[in-house]
Structure 1
Amino acid sequence: MSLFEIKDKIDSLVAELNQHNYNYYQLAMPTISDFDFDQKLKELEKLEQQHPEFLRKDSPTQKVGGEITKTFKTVKHKWPMLSLGNTYNEQDLIDFDQRVRKIIGDDFEYVCELKFDGLSMSLTYENGDLLRAVTRGDGTKGDDVTTNVKTIRTIPHKIEKNNPLSSFEIRGEIFMHKAAFEKLNQERIDNEEAPFANPRNFASGTIKMQNSAEVSRRPLDCYLYFLYAEHNPFKTHWESLQAVKSWGFKISEESKLCTNINQVLEFIKVWDQKRFGLTYDIDGIVIKVNSYAQQQELGFTAKSPRWAISYKFKAEEVETVLEKVTYQVGRTGAVTPVANLKPVFLAGTTVKRATLHNANEIERLDLYEGDTVVVEKGGEIIPKVMRVNLDKRQTGAKKIYYINNCPECGTELVRVEGEAVHYCPNDESCRPQIIGRIQHFISRKAMNIDGVGDETIETLYSRGFIHKISDLYQLSVHESELKQMERFGEKSINNMLMGIQQSKQMPFEKVLFGLGIRYVGETVAKKLAYHFKNIDNLMNANFDQLIEAEEIGERIANSLLSYFSDQKHVEEIKRLIDEGLQFEIEEKEVILQSEKLLGKTFLISGVFEGHSRDELKTIIEDNGGKMLSSISSKLDYLVAGDNMGPSKLEKATKLNIPMINEQQLFELLGQ
């Protein structure tokens, strides 16, 4: 290659790898396998070594990876959180062992540990109390996520047992067990939300949530694996692991002390097979020199410690034949392509189908009929088509294009600008949308109607008894006809009608969730119900008023505006109101703690360190204050947190509205 071509190649690799880093660390949605990323990184490192004149400051070889999420306070790491050098072959480990021996001699030990596939976390303790939890971030500074991390039950808030350190930092990995991931991901799929690719992404997305109450509902776990202190009383890493275990920290029991590289290689061989039996994901083995003194002697490169390395398992892949592509229509009209495969055994299960996500993915893979495809289980959970074996493509095979019309009703599909998913807009006559919508309404997390199941809904629809949700509440007029149907005995009919009748007592947030409005999941429905109090307030809210509600962003607000602008949805809600369903929250008698804020109006905006917006709202109302939904001349105080919208700031400044922070609010209360 010419110098121009080499520079162009380096620039291209830097741009591509930085984008992959962003997808992995920030969006928690990787678009390339770890192996492929590392191969490209090694190619870039080699080119930069040969041509240092083209080395760029923003090269991923010069940093750990990842950026800082702006919604959390940024904290500088006392000890940088460096990444480890990766390898996929035994010879690299042997070379690593030889480099170590050249510097410190032959008298040393290794500690082998499972490499958890989760989110790296640094925990700081002062006088036995958990002071701070910070993400890796860019390696030098990360996000303060202490409130969320404190919801993890296996992380102690206080070290009760005697330890010799008044201040220390301990690092580990936050992760989610496979069973919990599958359960929670299925709930996302049921809500027509994009599923996470693997437990690591779900754990990462959870720990970055603003609402710690929601984080606490998701069962995260944590293994700790490294201790830092100004005056470390321990001489070896292994000794420190045993000590922190006695203090109450969760330490992996699978770690092993090894005296030579052959024992390390044997440990790797064993866990390459045993990993599939674990309840959580690992993606390799970490090897560390045991002695702290020898670690200091070996030192660091700009990016990695010279005394540690990670061996990464290749994700298990198999080749199989793509038999056909079919399409599933969800209850909100989202059309998802599915690869139907010749059955193949992969990572412990037989795989017959794999998601193709959307039209973009079909185009990226450049699929043809009868292609031989490489399938991988992302995070050992979700099968996905990684690439096509072009050498086995059949002559004359036809290219596969994403469909233009709904596979169920034939309606032309639509695609909202900025979204990857195509939708069928025919929500009135498209069978899977109608059935799916009613099945969602009766589901356990929505109206939880006893005596009615998914199969019952399909049967009732097929026989013409129901076509919309409100038809459920008219089923009693068809009781005699129902008794003539097969498998509909008198007892089952009575149970069904009783369950439907009893569902009228379900609270507003359950009804709202049951309507199946796009992007309005269980938590969002609860936030909306408690913010707007009743359906009229919600239906009449404009865009600015909608995004004032906690955790309601642009996408959800636009979806709500679109839903309530459709007259048939409004009419359906009126029918449900007439049937006696609950469309307002039950107001409880308020007993004020004080009248210190009586007659004062407040609006809360931004993110706060000590309290959630809901908690601040409760405090204000408990002390006589009144909440407003938008900025106006009637507003007495704008309680402003971090990342407040610039439009609110501009409007408040223009109207000379006093802006106070969290601390100043409590000063008003004399606290």
Structure 2
Amino acid sequence: MEEIKAELEELREEINRHDYYYFVLDKPKISDREYDKMMQRLVELEEEYPELITPNSPTQRVGGEAIDEFAKVEHRYPMLSLAKSFSQEELRDFDNRIKKIDENIEYVVELKIDGLSASLIYEGGKLTQAATRGNGTIGEDISHNIRTLKSIPLRLQEEIDLEVRGEVYFPKDKFIEFNKERENLGEDLFANPRNAAAGSMRQLDPKVAATRPLDIFIYDSPNIEGKSFEKHSYRLDYLEELGFKVNPQRKKCKDIDQVIDYCEYWTDHREELNYEIDGIVIKVDKLALRNDLGRTAKHPRWAIAYKFPAQQKETKVKDIEITVGRTGALTPTAILEPVLLDGSMVGRATLHNQDEIERKGVRIGDKVIIQKAGDIIPQVVKVLKDKRSGGEKKFSIPKQCPVCGAEAVRLDGEVVISCTGGACPAKLKEEIIHFVQRNAMNIEGVGPALIEQLLENKLISDIGDLYSLKKEELMNLDRMGEKSSQNVLDALKRSKDNSLAQVLFGLGIRHVGSRVAQVLAQNYDSIDKVAQAGEEELGEINEIGPKIAQSIVSYFSQEQNLKIIKKLKEAGVNLEPESLELSNTLEGKKFVVTGTLEEFTRKDAKEAITKLGGRVTSSVSKNTDYVVVGENPGSKYEKAQELGIEILDEKGFRDIIDS
């Protein structure tokens, strides 16, 4: 048995050594065939003597068991984020702040890898735990997945306790191949290498992570037991000697000018790397000076990240498509010839609105320059008009919604063109969620999950269909038993007695909030009268301006919306206002509510005030009529006292709304 143990130990050491040559140094010493023979021999021995398998054996990189969930890990030392800079001036400001403490500064500059930050713990030279950065204080245990990275040593060359920090990344060439494979299998594509790295590290089954060609660069160590270093650069050299993969592109700079030169070089040459970087990290090299500089709650004061300017690429606009968002906004999107930009293939770019199309002069067929706004959303930066052939076509957003055919309008003073259809499939789910919410029709039991099922099963096509639902239809849906189905029907029945103002608000007419809905209900004796009103008539009402009037008229001019009103009428929903005398008792009065009330939530208090014609504002001013105070009212109470505004306790407030 001792001979077997000795052979196993020798095989493991030899394989780990060649993993280091191949995956860390990129300088293999033996052929793949020789390596595979050693690995096969190790597998055979461990299968024959399973009691001799160790957690840090090379065979255990891919053989761990799947976990049920990620355990939380509290970091021994916080993983702080870095303050950001975007210009040479900001880098010089950083340098000047450091010089106030020490004139003799040297920096270490490193490439800022765009991947997933991780902390690795070694005890006695053996990898025992790995965790994500998380919120900087608490991360998630990813030990089972980290072990699958062959560039990470499972056992160090010294029996030492330490923690290292690194960035897990997905090589660019492997990422393109990986996404092609997923596309061929009909699977969702990763947006960029960073998402692929993060998604791979968050797999519950390590066998999945083991199939992904991930790698890591170690960039620091907050603690190495029994070791002390004068400089960060010396510590990195030591980590490299231990067998960690440390980025060879790091550089020591004697002043800020050299730092800026380094930043400028990699701004122009980052495409030459086989991994994504999104900036440069600048760190004070002297560790004692770092201690003097300290940190804020979020960032160390001795380091800063320089962010690259947005990367730009040339491509061609093949077409322009219109998408209808959940609010009904019609948004133009440029369909592009795909181009690799900041690590991902980009085939679409937002054009925002018609004004943006005209301002930039974008036409179908144009050659354009694109970039990612905030490094996330692709957008067209510039049209290359000198490259036009003459066959390019102008584009205008249509006047009808491409989804439902309803009129698409642009209200005065707005840049957005919106669908006015109340039954438009593109925004129907959000329309219904709005209709059933507490401040509108308050239909309990009808939440997003149920609405999703109602739409998927084609049980409703607009909000009016809610009142035609049958008990047996509801009971056939997931998690809808007899009792819950009856509760929904009872809630729908109760909502029929709601006020006209609640209905008008629930319809989701653009710019008609709860206050405007109250005003309309106070000025018209039926919803039909509201529907028949013209823009000029509506505009004469206090608190209703031209934009709101235009929106109301546009809504009631659509046939699909009138069908909804008809369904509500036929269902017996109240479409007439309450007594105007009751609704006008607080007309023109402005309230501020502050502190905690016993009988009212903040929403209840606001609803009670607006129902009687009053208004609720968020701040106290000389125009405020009443300040309603509960427990712990704060500065608003004090300001009301200074201005001599009438202050109401909860009883006084109740007396006013009940009078």
Task: Please give the TM-score of this superposition, normalised by the length of structure 1.
Answer: 0.43
Task: Indicate the structure (1 or 2) with the bigger Cα radius of gyration.
Answer: 2
